[in-house]
Amino acid sequence: MKQKLVLIGNGMAGVRTIEEILDRDPDRYQITIIGEEQYPNYNRIMLSNVLQKKMTVSEIITNPLEWYDENQIELINHDPAIKMDTENKTIITTSGKEVTYDKCILATGSRAFILPIEGAKLTGVVGFRTIEDTENMLEAARKYQKAVVIGGGLLGLEAAKGLLDQGMDVTVVHLEKWLMETQLDEKAGKMLQADLEKQGLKFLMEKATQKILGDTRVTGLAFSDGTTIESDIVVMSIGIRSETTLARTTAIEVNRGIVVNDFMETNVEDVFAVGECAEHNGNVYGLVAPLFEQGKVLADVLTDKETKPYQGSTTFTSLKVSGCDLYSAGNIREQEGINSIEAFDGINYTYKKIFVRDNQVVGVVLYGDTSEGNRYYNILKKNESIEEYTPVSLLHMVGEEASADVSEWPDDEVICGCNGIDKGTIMTAISEKDLASVADVTKHTKAGGSCGKCKSVIGDVLAYALGGEVVCAPTGICGCTDLTRDQIVTQIYAKKLTSSEEVYRELNFTNLEGCPKCRPAINFYLNVAWPKEHEDEKASRYVNERLYANIQNDGTFSVIPRMRGGKTNPQQLLLIAKVAEKYDVPMVKVTGSQRIGLYGVKKEDLPKIWEELDMKAAGAYAKAVRSVKTCVGANFCRFGTQDSMGLGIKLEQRYEFIDTPHKFKMGVSACPRSCVESGVKDFGIIGVENGFQIYIGGNGGTEVKEAVLLTTVETEQEVIDICGAMLQYYRETGIYAERTAPWIERMGFETVKEILLDPEKRQELLAALDDAVAGRRGNPWDEVVEDDKTRQELYTIGRV
């Protein structure tokens, strides 16, 4: 017969413990959960997003009612426990319901601390802890104008920004000298205040509230210095207090919280505690990561699994307010034995401070640029020695640049700090369960399911695991927005949006950092719209494009030097051979596009190899114009009617490195025998006696699409111009990650044909492409242009 397990508290810590128990031994217990609120389990961290109207209440429900039914859990909701008899193992709820247990978990959480001052019980004075609190604040915002938030900590600032977003005049009152003083040092706190002031928030620093004014409803606040301020609503956000009321009626030991040992056991047999109500070694944690760590230990204990004792947690903090990127972890107070390394970039308005004791990182504060937060947190959590790091570059390895590239991270690198999920766990889940989206990863691993800040990094891991081929939805856009590709591009032009950050903010993306589907797409659309104004966002590109090499299934890379038209010479071949021998390249192979590829190259060798090859990279890694495949042509072949190799070289010189929605392949055959399969290329050319046949929209991939004959022209110049016009039309109207075959099907072949064969429209497209070419971005490891031609000369080849 199953034992009866009762959980008192339907919040994040307790329910996560139940989830962990179900994962380990789903048939072990008959489970009852007693909750105070009327809602099923929800993600309390996301209340600020509900207040800021980025999410709805239904979207933050973690475990809907169906989950309880599916797992045969009895939910006693909106009926809190008010009495507990630990001798007879019974619990009484407010409604008088009696519940018996064999084992009981106390996860009663915490409550917002309300200052015990005059007026604290007036209507309009609220905490910020529950869905009900959030709904009360939204209702007040609809009726009133002025709001005061007491407390400049994490929740206080998120509450203030939410009310500001609802149109209220908001003032934050803070007792200390700077904001978030427990998570930030003074420099970062002042930077945060300056950014929030730019957004419209007002601040009264070093102010002590003496009383709240009003008769039945709040009208303002009075301070200890004799000043006052008017207000229609007061939000108390000065901390939390563990909810221990029930435990205090029993023999359970209670201090600041319910006292537990390393296995989350109280001093009363068969009674355990986790979460914000629990006190471990004198510490009560109010952040989600420690609560989940406690839950895992307790789940092991309750399912008789061997487990390491809970030893406390290293905490970290980030703020969910757009435009204010901050990250804090560990001990950030300079004291005896702790020194710091700091750097302030006044141009980019970023700040980093690393706290060090005995050659180990013990604390981190980042403001403005939090991209390395994960890296510093992992160094901190692993207690790594930093003797091999140089402090001048803020803990980069000597001689190396720090990398945000997930392909370099070890498997034990923590990706989701809230849930303690590392890269290896995510990679394994992607491989074994064929996961294809961030939502899939979250569902199967819980990574990204709490504060959500790590979703962009999860997306990077996903893109890395899938080799950069995270294909967009049919509209070209992901779950970050309901807008279609056309709607986004229209707004990019209409609002003159020139950066991804502006697009995410102005078009109300739910994830203001984007995801692996939309980041490269938005970057591409901006490159097309503003080739001169938009600075290409390299971090938004896939690892293949960032490194000018294709990642292979074992994590190494392939290096494919550019050989225009497939033509090479002895000097190039000697260079390739020397490099392959010097760097012990496992395989050298002629590729399908008639180039020579070096396979199995180590990532750290890539810059040196490109430098020594003294050749540009072929476009084999990019969503761009790829190498042009050619036959030897009329110069050598007895069947050839045209100089296919010469035309192929001109096409590459004219259009190499041009970004396109997907890879764009070309083939030039000198006769109808089509030795280079021109009929299955995006742009295929076949030489005939009177000129060149042009085919478009072919695809030789998993679903073969035969190209369609567009027209026959007499000169190479016409071929080059039609190709350029097609490229630009495809760039302007294509959905990111859409090949030309489905693009033509969507646009209609006759429409595409009409555009490309109209001389006036063709010239307009070519002029637009010239602007894009002028800002072309090629291989940064090689600025040498073959045959001493300048880049501008290359841009205009075929256009004289």
Q: List residues forming the annotated binding site for [4Fe-4S] cluster.
A: 631, 637, 671, 675
Q: Which two structure tokens, joined as six digits, stand for 791?
A: 């880049």
Give the pair of three-digit tokens for residue 572: 């190039």
Helices marked H in 567-605: 570-582
Q: Which residues contact 657 (CB under 8 A, 6 or more apart)?
A: 619, 622, 624, 625, 776, 777, 778
Q: DSSP alpha helices (H): ranges in 396-517?
A: 423-433, 438-445, 455-465, 485-494, 500-506
Q: Using CA atoms, how far apart are residues 616 and 559, in angstroms rounded to an integer? A: 10
Beta bridge partners of 699: 705
**Six-digit token pair at 682?**
């995006």
What percent of the residues of the chain are helix, what percent strand, and what percent coil, each to the nearest 5? Answer: 35, 25, 45
Both tokens assigned to 435: 């996961």
**Bridge partner residues of 688 (DSSP):** 691
- Across the beta sheet with 81-85, the strand order is 81-85, 90-93, 98-100
The sheet with strand 146-150 has its strands ordered as 125-126, 233-236, 146-150, 169-174, 202-205
334 vs 605: CA distance, rounded Å: 40
Residue 265's DSSP bridge partners are 272
Strands 103-106 and 110-112, sheet pairing? unpaired
Annotated binding-site members for siroheme: 675
Of the candidates 469, 513, 468, 509, the residue with the CA atom closest to the CA atom of residue 491: 509
Q: Which residue(s) pair with 93 in the sheet?
A: 81
19 φ, ψ (degrees, to nearest 5): -60, -40
What b/e string do you get for 643-658 counting C-beta neighbours within 10 Å, with b at 16 or more? bbbbbbbbbbbbbbbb
In whole angstroms, give the CA distance from residue 385 to residue 388.
Answer: 8
**What SS3 state is found at 350?**
strand
CA proximity to 724, closest of 618, 797, 643, 783: 797
Annotated binding residues: 631, 637, 671, 675
